[in-house]
């Protein structure tokens, strides 16, 4: 598994954990800002921007808030 695939997997899992909250995307964005290195976020943003279908919708919403 590549580093990018691992980041997507982790982000999707975190999004699933926050999915029962009405503000799940906000919570995910906050989590990414607080606990992920900027380089990890950029890599995930670049991957999501490429139109990849493996990124959960909640992850895309959170990335738009960053």
- How far apart CA 37 and CA 47 sit, in angstroms, is 16
SS3 38: helix
pLDDT tens per residue across span 22-47: 999 999 999 999 999 999 999 999 99
- How far apart CA 43 and CA 36 sit, in angstroms, is 11
* Total-model pTM: 0.92
Show me where the domains of the chain are located.
3-65
Helices (H) and strands (E) in the chain, counts: 4, 0
Contact yes or no for 58/20 (Cβ under 8 A):
no
In this predicted structure, the answer to whether residue 52 has a pLDDT above a threshold of 90 is no
- How far apart CA 40 and CA 22 sit, in angstroms, is 25
């Amino acid at each position: 598994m590549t580093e990018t695939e691992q980041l997507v997997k982790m982000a999707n899992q975190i999004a699933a954990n926050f999915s029962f909250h009405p503000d799940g995307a906000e919570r995910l964005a906050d989590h990414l800002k607080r606990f992920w290195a900027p380089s990890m976020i950029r890599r995930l943003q670049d991957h999501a921007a490429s139109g990849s279908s493996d990124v959960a919708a909640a992850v895309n919403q959170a990335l738009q808030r960053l």
